[in-house]
Amino acid sequence: MIVTFCGHSQISQCQAVERWLYGVTQELITRGATTFYLGGYGAFDNLAASVLRRQKMQYPQIELVLVMAYLNDGRDASGYDRTIYPPLETVPRRYAIPRRNRWMVQSSDIVVAYVLHDWGGAAATLRFAIQKKKQILSYCDEVGF
């Protein structure tokens, strides 16, 4: 089972979101999730990666995959098991991240979302996941936001 994440570049109530992410990822791992796609940009992506690195200590079989929006951009991929560059060679640079996000959603079984408002890249990615009828685990649903 492949899981991806979508969320805002800034987080409020970081500790609450971190606790929620830890519980969600633990449940997904016990249900058979083995591969986690991460975008590596912004606070939510970084928090998800940090939580998964802690989970990996207990569940070494899980794989953290950094999905690159740009080829050879010099990003530090340490802390990830591997990187993937989706077929984005012909995509103009300004559209690379939204296209990468859509690829991540299409390639995943479950989307874990921290989306608090209906504008911006995270909201667009969540709308795409809903359109594609992906299973979505949302922070907003959990806390009644």
Name the fold adopted by 2-143. Answer: Rossmann fold (3.40.50)
Q: Contact, 104 vs 68, CB < 8 A?
A: no
In the chain, the percentage of residues whose pLDDT exceeds 90 is 85
Q: Contact, 44 vs 9, CB < 8 A?
A: yes
**Domains of the chain: which residue ranges?**
2-143
Residue with tokens 């922070």: 139
pLDDT tens-digit readout, 85-99: 999 999 999 999 999
The two three-digit tokens of residue 69, written as one number: 């929006």
Q: Tell me if residue 12 falls in helix, strand or coil.
A: coil
Q: What is the DSSP string of 39-60?
A: ---HHHHHHHHHHHHHHHHH-T
Q: How far, in Å, are 1, 38, 110 from residue 88 at the CA level? A: 24, 17, 22
pLDDT given at position 88? 94
Q: Tell me if residue 93 falls in helix, strand or coil.
A: helix
pLDDT given at position 143? 57
pLDDT given at position 144? 53
- Mean pLDDT, the chain, integer: 94
pLDDT tens-digit readout, 43-75: 999 999 999 999 999 999 999 999 999 987 778
Task: Point out which residues pair with 2 in neighbouring strands.
Answer: 35
Entry field: residues in the chain: 145
pLDDT tens-digit readout, 11-22: 988 899 999 999
pTM over 0.85: yes
